[in-house]
Amino acid sequence: MSIMVPSTTPALITPGRQALDSALHQLDQAAAHLGLDDGLRTMLATPRRSLTVSVPVRREDGRLDVVQGFRVQHNVSRGPAKGGLRFHPTTDLDEVTALAMWMTWKCALVGIPYGGAKGGVAVDPAGLTTRELERLTRRYVSEIMPLIGPEKDIPAPDVGTDEQTMAWIMDTYSVSAGYSVPGVVTGKPTTLGGSLGRTGATSRGVQIAALAALGRSPEGVTVAVQGFGKVGALAAQYLSDAGCKVVAVSDVTGAVHAAGGLDVARLRAYAAETGGVRGFHHADALDRDDLLELDVDVLVPAAMEGAITEANAARVRARLIVEGANGPTTPEADEILAAAGTTVVPDILANAGGVIVSYLEWVQNMQAYSWSSGEVEIKLRDLMLGAFADVRSLAAERGLTLRQAAHVIGVGRVAEAHQMRGLYP
Ligand SMILES: NC(=O)C1=CN([C@@H]2O[C@H](COP(=O)(O)OP(=O)(O)OC[C@H]3O[C@@H](n4cnc5c(N)ncnc54)[C@H](OP(=O)(O)O)[C@@H]3O)[C@@H](O)[C@H]2O)C=CC1
Ligand SMILES: O=C(O)CCC(=O)C(=O)O
Query: Domain check: are 301 and 209 in the same one?
Result: yes
- The reply to whether 237 falls in a domain is yes
- The reply to whether 356 falls in a domain is no
Q: Which domain holds residue 59?
A: 1-8+18-30+49-180+401-425
Q: Is the CB of 291 under 6 A from ligand 1?
A: no
Q: How confident is the model at residue 425 (pLDDT cuts 50, 70, 90)?
A: very low
- The predicted model gives 338-363 an average pLDDT of 98
- The predicted model gives 240-263 an average pLDDT of 98
Question: Distance, CA 28 to ligand 1 centroid (Å)?
Answer: 27
Number of domains within the chain: 2
Query: Domain check: are 208 and 286 in the same one?
Result: yes
Q: Closest by alpha carbon to 297, among 381, 392, 404, 213?
A: 213
118 is catalytic: yes
pLDDT digits (tens, 9 = 90+) for 33-90: 999 999 999 999 999 999 999 999 999 999 999 999 999 999 999 999 999 999 999 9
pTM, two decimals, is 0.96
Query: Domain check: are 72 and 171 in the same one?
Result: yes
CA distance 57 to 114: 32
Query: Domain check: are 208 and 315 in the same one?
Result: yes
- The reply to whether 312 falls in a domain is yes
Query: Domain check: are 26 and 171 in the same one?
Result: yes
Expressed in angstroms, the distance from the first to the final Cα of the chain is: 15
Question: Distance, CA 84 to ligand 2 centroid (Å)?
Answer: 5
- The reply to whether 369 falls in a domain is no
- The reply to whether 266 falls in a domain is yes
CA distance 84 to 96: 10
Query: Domain check: are 126 and 25 in the same one?
Result: yes
**CATH value at residue 228:** 3.40.50.720
Query: Domain check: are 93 and 210 in the same one?
Result: no
Query: Domain check: are 295 and 337 in the same one?
Result: yes
Query: Domain check: are 131 and 219 in the same one?
Result: no
**Predicted local confidence at residue 423, as pLDDT:** 61
Final residue of a domain: which of 312, 345, 378?
345
- The reply to whether 104 falls in a domain is yes
Final residue of a domain: which of 329, 345, 361?
345
Specify the ligand 2 atom closest to the Cα of 155.
Answer: 3
DSSP state letter for 292: G
Q: Please tell me the number of the ligand nearest to residue 118's CA.
A: 2
Query: Domain check: are 163 and 206 in the same one?
Result: no
pLDDT digits (tens, 9 = 90+) for 355-366: 999 999 999 999
**CATH value at residue 75:** 3.40.50.10860
pLDDT digits (tens, 9 = 90+) for 218-238: 999 999 999 999 999 999 999
- The reply to whether 270 falls in a domain is yes
Residue partners of 410: CB distance under 8 A and separation at least 6 = 30, 104, 105, 106, 108, 109, 348
With 50 as the cut, is the pLDDT of residue 3 above it?
no
- The reply to whether 417 falls in a domain is yes
Q: How confident is the model at residue 4 (pLDDT cuts 50, 70, 90)?
A: very low
- The predicted model gives 374-399 an average pLDDT of 98
Give the closest residue (by CA) to ligand 1 atom 9.
Answer: 325
Q: Is 212 exposed, middle or buried (0-12, 13-18, 19+ CB in 10 A)?
A: middle
Q: Is 343 exposed, middle or buried (0-12, 13-18, 19+ CB in 10 A)?
A: middle
Give the closest residue (by CA) to ligand 2 atom 6.
Answer: 84
CA distance 23 to 382: 27
Query: Domain check: are 81 and 171 in the same one?
Result: yes
Dihedral angle over CA of 200, 316, 341, 27, nearest 10: 60
CA distance 90 to 237: 29
Query: Domain check: are 287 and 320 in the same one?
Result: yes
